[in-house]
């Protein structure tokens, strides 16, 4: 069964079959990355634009590598223009870029819904590389890929997502994807950073990080942003670390095997202690490698050309 | 879909004999088994390759390195598809540098699959040589490619198709000449 | 486009007169001469030679009024003008609209009030200016309210913004109470609502959009009711949208506070679930609320807690709305579809009777503003709406009279065709092409 999506806007509504297909395909691409020549000619002649309205080093590099490993031509459009009102509108920008004959757009934007908006502006396949506080589907896919690599299956796995859930698109996509795959999800963070009515996703919520550790097989630890402190949502990074930080002591107290994930970049000593991040039970670097394979799989599966089939 | 079988060109015993002969020729041509490896092209080529490896082991008491190549990502008809075909894992668990690699496929037709397989293989290293072994050569080449080992050459018309049926995938061993199914879109 | 016409003599024949003041229905023809009702009677067509409108099968009623409209003139004549806004009002069955003061310049001086009155003079639709509560709508110093009322302002509001400073609001309510005009407040705690693009709840969590909690509205409603009680002023809650606010208004009324409120058609017909596709045409402030809020508003309209229905007609250019959700301005058109939506979503469903909802657009707004109700009597000015209440029609964006197009109702089937309106000696009849 081929992929039932033309775009990858998020994991909401994406079936377990589609997610499995992406992860299975990524397994193949993961193997390519270990070859002497880690490159295949598959997407030769295809042009991908990486449209990044928000500073991001690792996601952009990961997509760019995925594109290059598939022999696609890729172009970067990076702008840090924070004011969406100034200058050219998003619609004009994307239509101008499309007029240069491009096939796919990878987009990151600070506003939720931008990838969907772009599907209304152009015909190219759109891949969401993070929109506001909404979704970041490829990150969740690579997280699930990494977990599947370690645990063989996601069904029944207990994943606790720790941190600023409200502002996290990583959480947004992980919750949807993990639930679709039959995993159990618990959210943990300061009450000020847990979004309203989030239980309706079918997840548990706790404000006690030790409860989450005791319950979970996996901790997916999110980056805490200083600007949330500045917005008055928690008092200090110091207190955040004391109450929600993942430390060696907390893990030892739980007396169990646990897997640590983090979407990066890590604030060492804030949400995650350095020794935990570098421990053998941490799969953080596997996540990074797998990210390229998962993005290759997504690019490949969405690259079908409808026009040439009549 | 109704498929009209025109002839059974190789039966079960014939298939076994053909594979045995291919194995023998490979050993003979390479003066033994010391520096060779067998790589089959997914799907049926891989099973034929596996049988060749087994046959060589029976006669030579040596297990030659064996790998499987998935050429989906190297195909040249990629942009003509609406949805992408499933990609399967390529598994070549040995270094291919400086050895003779025998690429095994079921049917040699236009040569495009073999071209893709050659490209794919080259990305793994630099073998001393690559030789091509096919169960059936049905002609109609579109690229300058020829096989080093041919199980059986079967002259066909363009309206015909050669179907290799194997125990592992189809529940029987034989090669059929059938009328090509009409394109349904 | 069909223009307004003047007629020395006009006959509306075959219709049924519905008088909202006493609820009576009478099968009478109306003969109008020089803008006044000359005669009510049967078979007046015999021998009549002036302009005729066949109103068979239609209701003839007091002209409807929309007390919350953004006409955008002066300042954004690309989005709406007094003329185009009045055309939209007529298509929607209105003979009077209140113009909100958030224009450029804002309506905080007599000059702007007079400008609006002057520009409205040649219109069938009466344009009633609402002036700012505070100078430049800045929320700091109150405007020259006495002068503004004399110039023709019918109420005060900083709509679009709340009056955030409670002391300023207190002064405004105390001061304005001398002139017996209401203070219309856009209730929103600016800090709680800051950065919110939609209602905060399950849908905002799903869509990843920052939300405005319902309490951002109700906290200000509570404050304003307390201030109205303390000062004796009249607070009118604009576009009430939450169950919590409604309950506060209900209790305020029970306690004898001078508090009134209005509801928009979109807050009655749509909930935040409609935002699933990030349609910027559904972005307005206050935002679409939860289904529970929608149900509560319907109850409030039925039990009389809500005094009026008003559109909050807020035109925006296509370019402004054709952007990502976060960048789009708040606002939705409403004049031409308000009546149709109410008749479809409240009357046809059996939730309210036709007469009840018509009163919320005839009597409600005029009572709030202390304006006289037009009378359907011989010798009175003819101020009438001609409506076929159960006729269905389909909204076509292309046919709107408004200069803007920011509405999500394209293709919606609504109820209640407006045949025409009569007022100030003019009459207007809808053409074949309707919104």
Q: Give the DSSP letter string of chain A.
A: ---S-SSB--STT--HHHHHHHHHHHHHHHHHTTSSS----TTTT-EEEEEESS--SHHHHHHHHHHHHTT-EEEEEE-----SSSSS-HHHHHHHHHTTT-SEEEEEESSTTHHHHHHHH-SSEEEEEEETTTB-HHHHHHHHHHHHHHHS--TT-EEEEES--TT-HHHHHHHHHHHHTT-EEEEES-GGGS-TTGGGGT-EEES-HHHHHHH-SEEEEPPPPHHHHHTTSSS-HHHHHHHH-B-HHHHHHHTS--EEE--S---BTTTB-HHHHTSTTB-HHHHHHHHHHHHHHHHHHT---GGG--
CA-derived radius of gyration, chain B: 16
pLDDT-derived band at C289 (thresholds 50, 70, 90) equals very high
Give yes or no: residues A123 and A150 share one domain. Answer: no
pLDDT of residue A276 exceeding 70: yes
Domain boundaries, chain C: 5-60+377-394+413-429, 63-369
Cα angle value A209/A214/A219 (rounded, 5°): 65
Between C208, C213, C277, which is nearest A112 by CB?
A: C208
pLDDT of residue B182 exceeding 70: no
pLDDT of residue B27 exceeding 50: yes
Q: Which helix (H) or strand (E) covers residue C126, if one does?
A: strand C126-131
- Nearest of C94, C79, C180 to residue C406 by alpha carbon: C79
Our separate counts of H helices and E strands in chain A read: 12, 9
Length of chain A: 310
Give yes or no: residues A222 and A87 share one domain. Answer: no
- Nearest of C322, C339, C342, C333 to residue C386 by alpha carbon: C339
The residue of chain C with its CA nearest to that of A88 is: C323
Tens of pLDDT, residues C181-206? 999 999 999 999 999 999 999 999 99
pLDDT of residue C315: 98
| Token pair for C151 | 């110039």
CATH number of the C63-369 domain: 3.20.20.140
Among 2.30.40.10, 1.20.1250.20, 3.50.40.10, 1.10.357.10, name the CATH number for the domain at C5-60+377-394+413-429: 2.30.40.10
Give yes or no: residues A240 and A272 share one domain. Answer: yes
pLDDT of residue C111: 97
pLDDT of residue A82: 46
- pTM here is 0.91
Tell me which DSSP letter residue B155 carries.
-
The torsion of the CA quartet C72, C74, C76, C78, rounded to 10 degrees, works out to 90
pLDDT of residue B180: 79
State the average pLDDT over residues C106-122. 96
Tens of pLDDT, residues A57-107? 899 999 999 999 999 999 998 886 544 455 788 999 999 999 989 999 999
B184 inside 8 A of chain A by CB: no
pLDDT of residue B79 exceeding 80: no
pLDDT of residue C405 exceeding 80: yes
| Token pair for C403 | 């200069």
Spatial distance between the Cα atoms of C304 and C291, rounded to a whole number of angstroms: 20
Range of the domain at A71: 16-136+288-303
C200 contacts in chain A (CB < 8 Å): 196
How does C332-368 read in b/e, with b if 16+ C-beta sit within 10 Å?
Answer: bbbbbbbbbbbbbbbbbeebbebbebbbbbbbbbbeb
Provide the shortest C-alpha distance from residue A266 to chain B (in Å). 33
Burial of C383 (0-12, 13-18, 19+ CB in 10 A): buried
Provide the shortest C-alpha distance from residue B116 to chain A (in Å). 10
| Token pair for B172 | 């029987």
* Residues of C forming the active site: 312
Q: Cis omega (within 30 of 0) on the bond before B43? A: yes
pLDDT of residue A55: 83
CATH number for position A31: 3.40.50.1370
CB contact under 8 Å between C326 and A84, yes or no, is: yes
| Token pair for C129 | 């200016």
pLDDT of residue A35: 87
Length of chain C: 435
User: Across the strands, what pairs with C128?
Assistant: C98
> For residue A76, what are the CA distances in angstroms to A49, A114, B2, B88?
6, 18, 50, 30
A37 contacts in chain B (CB < 8 Å): 122-124
pLDDT of residue A309: 34
- Which runs of consecutive H residues, i.e. helices, occur in A40-130? 58-69, 90-98, 114-121
A with B: 3 or more CB pairs under 8 Å? yes
Interface of B with A in 32-51 (CB under 8 A): none
User: Across the strands, what pairs with B102?
Assistant: B38, B131
Spatial distance between the Cα atoms of A182 and A67, rounded to a whole number of angstroms: 31
Q: Which helix (H) or strand (E) covers residue B27, if one does?
A: helix B12-29
Instruction: Give the 3-state secondary structure percentages of chain B, helix then strand then coil, rounded to 5.
Output: 30, 30, 40
Provide the shortest C-alpha distance from residue A39 to chain C (in Å). 36
**Residue A11 lies inside a defined structural domain of this protein:** no
- What is the crossing angle of helices A114-121 and A90-98, to 10°? 50
The residue of chain A with its CA nearest to that of C326 is: A111
State the average pLDDT over residues C218-238. 98
Spatial distance between the Cα atoms of A206 and A186, rounded to a whole number of angstroms: 7
State the average pLDDT over residues C66-82. 97
pLDDT of residue C3: 85
Q: Cis omega (within 30 of 0) on the bond before C112? A: no
Interface of A with C in 237-266 (CB under 8 A): none
Spatial distance between the Cα atoms of A279 and A257, rounded to a whole number of angstroms: 12
Tens of pLDDT, residues A105-136? 999 999 999 999 999 999 999 999 999 999 99
Chain A residue set in contact with B, beta carbons under 8 Å: 2-3, 21, 24-25, 27-29, 31-32, 35-37, 39-43, 45-46, 70, 300-301, 303-306, 308-310
- Nearest of C255, C186, C189 to residue C226 by alpha carbon: C255
**Residue A7 lies inside a defined structural domain of this protein:** no
pLDDT of residue C434: 52
CATH 1.10.287.3510 fits B13-157, yes or no: no
B126 inside 8 A of chain A by CB: no
State the average pLDDT over residues B44-57. 96
Provide the shortest C-alpha distance from residue A258 to chain C (in Å). 29
> For residue C429, what are the CA distances in angstroms to A78, C5, C63, C418?
55, 9, 14, 9
Check residue C370 and give left, alpha or beta (phi > 0: left; psi -120 to 50: alpha): left
Which of B42, B67, B69, B73 is the best residue to mutate to test the A interface, defined by the most A CB atoms within 10 Å of its own CB?
B73
Spatial distance between the Cα atoms of C238 and C187, rounded to a whole number of angstroms: 7
CB C362 within 8 A of CB C64: yes
Instruction: Read off φ and ψ for residue A35, nearest 5 degrees.
Output: -75, 160
Domain boundaries, chain B: 13-157
E-strand spans in A110-249? 125-131, 158-162, 184-188, 204-206, 218-221
CB contact under 8 Å between A111 and C325, yes or no, is: yes
Lowest mean pLDDT among A255-264, C209-218, C253-262, C340-349: A255-264
C207 contacts in chain A (CB < 8 Å): 112-113, 134
pLDDT of residue A310: 30
CB contact under 8 Å between C201 and A12, yes or no, is: no
CB contact under 8 Å between A134 and C210, yes or no, is: no
Interface of B with A in 57-86 (CB under 8 A): 70, 72-74, 78-86
Query: With pLDDT > 70 as the criterion, what percentage of chain C qualifies?
Result: 99
- Nearest of C231, C230, C222 to residue C189 by alpha carbon: C222
Give yes or no: residues A190 and A238 share one domain. Answer: yes
Tens of pLDDT, residues C133-156? 999 999 999 999 999 999 999 999
pLDDT of residue A89: 87
Between A25, A46, A304, which is nearest B87 by CB?
A: A25
Q: Which helix (H) or strand (E) covers residue C425, if one does?
A: none
**Residue A8 lies inside a defined structural domain of this protein:** no
Spatial distance between the Cα atoms of C25 and A154, rounded to a whole number of angstroms: 69
pLDDT-derived band at B86 (thresholds 50, 70, 90) equals confident
Give yes or no: residues A265 and A296 share one domain. Answer: no
> For residue C430, what are the CA distances in angstroms to C89, C121, C315, C336, C386?
12, 21, 22, 12, 10
| Token pair for A52 | 């990044």
Spatial distance between the Cα atoms of C39 and C37, rounded to a whole number of angstroms: 6
ipTM: 0.94
pLDDT of residue B143: 95
Give yes or no: residues A53 and A164 share one domain. Answer: no
Mean pLDDT score of chain C? 96
pLDDT of residue A255: 85
Mean pLDDT score of chain A? 93
pLDDT of residue C349: 96
pLDDT of residue C283: 98
CB B176 within 8 A of CB B156: no
**Residue A309 lies inside a defined structural domain of this protein:** no
| Token pair for C309 | 């229905």
Provide the shortest C-alpha distance from residue A298 to chain C (in Å). 22
CB C253 within 8 A of CB C277: no
The residue of chain A with its CA nearest to that of C206 is: A134
pLDDT of residue A153: 95
Instruction: Read off φ and ψ for residue B77, nearest 5 degrees.
Output: -100, 20
CB B12 within 8 A of CB B130: no
Domain count along chain A? 2
Give yes or no: residues A90 and A61 share one domain. Answer: yes
Which of A28, A39, A307 is the best residue to mutate to test the B interface, defined by the most B CB atoms within 10 Å of its own CB?
A28
**Residue A5 lies inside a defined structural domain of this protein:** no
Give yes or no: residues A94 and A222 share one domain. Answer: no
Which is higher by pLDDT, A309 or C60? C60
pLDDT of residue B2 exceeding 80: no
The residue of chain A with its CA nearest to that of B184 is: A310
CB C407 within 8 A of CB C332: yes
Between C201, C211, C278, which is nearest A113 by CB?
A: C278
- Contacting residues for C338 by C-beta, under 8 A, at least 6 apart: C66, C92, C264, C265, C309, C310, C311, C361
Give yes or no: residues A261 and A292 share one domain. Answer: no
A197 inside 8 A of chain C by CB: yes
Provide the shortest C-alpha distance from residue A3 to chain B (in Å). 7
pLDDT of residue B183: 55
CB contact under 8 Å between C208 and A172, yes or no, is: yes
pLDDT-derived band at C336 (thresholds 50, 70, 90) equals very high
* Sign, CA torsion C393/C397/C399/C404: positive
Give yes or no: residues A80 and A196 share one domain. Answer: no
pLDDT of residue A83: 43
E-strand spans in B22-172? 36-41, 66-69, 100-108, 129-137, 149-153, 160-165
**Residue A10 lies inside a defined structural domain of this protein:** no
Chain C residue set in contact with A, beta carbons under 8 Å: 200-202, 204-211, 213, 277-278, 319, 322-327
The overall longest dimension of chain C from CA atoms, in Å, is 68
pLDDT of residue A305: 52
């Amino acid at each position: 069964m081929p992929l039932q999506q033309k775009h990858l806007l998020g994991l909401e509504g994406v079936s377990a079959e589609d997610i499995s297909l992406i992860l299975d395909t990524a397994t193949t691409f993961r193997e390519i990355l270990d070859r002497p020549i880690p490159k295949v000619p598959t997407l030769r002649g295809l042009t991908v634009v990486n449209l990044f309205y928000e500073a991001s080093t690792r996601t952009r590099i990961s997509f760019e590598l995925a594109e290059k490993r598939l022999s696609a031509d890729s172009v970067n459009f990076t702008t840090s223009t924070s004011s969406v009102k100034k200058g050219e509108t998003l619609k004009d920008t994307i239509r101008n870029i499309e007029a240069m004959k491009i096939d796919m757009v990878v987009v990151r934007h600070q506003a939720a819904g931008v990838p969907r908006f772009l599907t209304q502006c152009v015909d190219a396949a759109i891949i969401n590389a993070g929109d506001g506080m909404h979704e970041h589907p490829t990150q969740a896919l690579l997280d699930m890929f990494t977990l599947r690599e370690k645990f063989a299956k996601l069904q029944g796995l207990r994943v606790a997502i720790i941190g600023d859930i409200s502002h996290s698109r990583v959480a947004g996509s992980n919750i949807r994807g993990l639930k679709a795959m039959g995993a159990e999800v618990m959210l943990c963070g300061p009450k000020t950073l847990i979004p309203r009515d989030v239980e309706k996703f079918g997840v548990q919520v706790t404000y006690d990080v030790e409860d989450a550790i005791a319950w979970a097989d996996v901790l997916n630890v999110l980056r805490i942003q200083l600007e949330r402190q500045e917005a008055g949502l928690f008092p200090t990074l110091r207190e955040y670390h004391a109450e929600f930080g993942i430390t060696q002591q907390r893990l030892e107290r739980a007396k169990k095997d646990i897997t640590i994930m983090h979407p990066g970049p890590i604030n060492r000593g804030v949400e995650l202690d350095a020794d935990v991040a570098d421990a053998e039970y941490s799969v953080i670097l596997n996540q990074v490698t797998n990210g390229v394979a998962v993005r290759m799989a997504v690019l490949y599966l969405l690259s079908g050309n409808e026009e040439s089939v009549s | 879909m109704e498929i009209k079988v025109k002839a059974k060109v190789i039966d079960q015993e014939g298939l076994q004999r053909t594979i045995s002969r291919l194995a023998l020729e490979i050993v003979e041509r390479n003066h033994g088994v010391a520096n060779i490896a067998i790589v089959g092209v997914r799907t049926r080529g891989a099973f034929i390759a596996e049988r060749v490896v087994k046959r060589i082991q029976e006669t030579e008491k040596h297990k030659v390195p064996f790998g499987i190549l998935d050429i989906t990502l190297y195909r040249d008809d990629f942009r003509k598809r609406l949805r992408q075909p499933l990609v399967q894992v390529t598994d070549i668990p040995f270094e291919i540098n400086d050895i003779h690699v025998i690429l095994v496929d079921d049917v040699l037709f236009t040569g495009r699959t073999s071209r893709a397989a050659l490209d794919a293989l080259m990305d793994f290293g630099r073998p001393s040589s690559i030789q091509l072994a096919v169960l059936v050569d049905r002609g109609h080449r579109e690229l300058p490619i020829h096989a080093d080992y041919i199980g059986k050459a079967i002259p066909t018309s363009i309206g015909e198709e050669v179907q290799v049926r194997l125990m592992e995938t189809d529940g029987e061993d034989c090669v059929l000449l059938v009328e090509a199914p009409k394109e349904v879109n | 486009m069909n223009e307004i016409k003047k007629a020395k003599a006009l006959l509306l024949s075959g219709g049924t007169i519905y008088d909202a003041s006493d609820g009576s229905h009478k099968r009478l023809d109306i003969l109008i001469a020089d803008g006044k009702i000359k005669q009510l009677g049967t078979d007046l067509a015999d021998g009549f030679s002036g302009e005729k409108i066949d109103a068979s099968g239609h209701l003839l009623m007091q002209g409807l009024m929309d007390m919350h409209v953004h006409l955008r003139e002066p300042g954004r004549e690309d989005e709406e003008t007094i003329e185009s806004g009045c055309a939209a009002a007529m298509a929607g069955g209105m003979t009077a609209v209140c113009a909100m003061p958030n224009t450029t310049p804002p309506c905080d001086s007599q000059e702007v009030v007079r400008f609006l009155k002057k520009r409205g003079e040649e219109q069938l639709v009466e344009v009633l200016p609402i002036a700012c509560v505070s100078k430049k709508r800045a929320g700091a110093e109150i405007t020259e309210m006495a002068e503004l009322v004399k110039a023709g302002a019918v109420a005060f509001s900083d709509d679009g913004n709340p009056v955030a400073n409670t002391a300023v609001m207190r002064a405004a309510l105390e001061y304005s109470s001398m002139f017996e005009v209401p203070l219309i407040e856009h209730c929103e705690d600016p800090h709680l609502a800051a950065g919110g693009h939609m209602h905060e709840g399950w849908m905002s969590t799903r869509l990843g959009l920052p939300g405005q909690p319902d309490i951002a509205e109700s906290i200000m409603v509570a404050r304003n009711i307390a201030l109205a009680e303390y000062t004796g002023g009249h607070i009118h809650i604009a576009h009430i949208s939450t169950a919590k606010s409604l309950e506060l208004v209900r209790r305020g009324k029970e306690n004898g506070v001078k508090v009134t409120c209005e509801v928009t058609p979109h807050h009655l017909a749509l909930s935040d679930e409609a935002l699933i596709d990030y349609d910027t045409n559904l972005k307005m402030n206050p935002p679409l609320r939860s289904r529970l809020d929608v149900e509560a508003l319907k109850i409030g309209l039925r039990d009389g807690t809500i005094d009026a229905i008003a559109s909050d007609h807020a035109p925006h250019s296509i370019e402004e709305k054709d952007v990502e959700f976060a960048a789009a301005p708040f606002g939705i058109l409403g004049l031409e579809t308000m009546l149709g939506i109410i008749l479809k979503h409240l009357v046809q469903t059996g939730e309210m009777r036709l007469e009840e909802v018509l009163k919320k657009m005839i009597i409600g707004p005029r009572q709030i503003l202390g304006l006289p109700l037009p009378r359907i009597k011989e010798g009175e000015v003819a101020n009438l709406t001609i409506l076929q209440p159960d006729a269905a029609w389909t909204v076509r964006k292309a046919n709107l009279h408004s200069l803007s197009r920011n509405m999500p109702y394209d293709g919606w089937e609504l109820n209640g065709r407006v045949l025409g309106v009569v007022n100030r000696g003019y009459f207007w009849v809808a053409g074949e092409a309707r919104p």
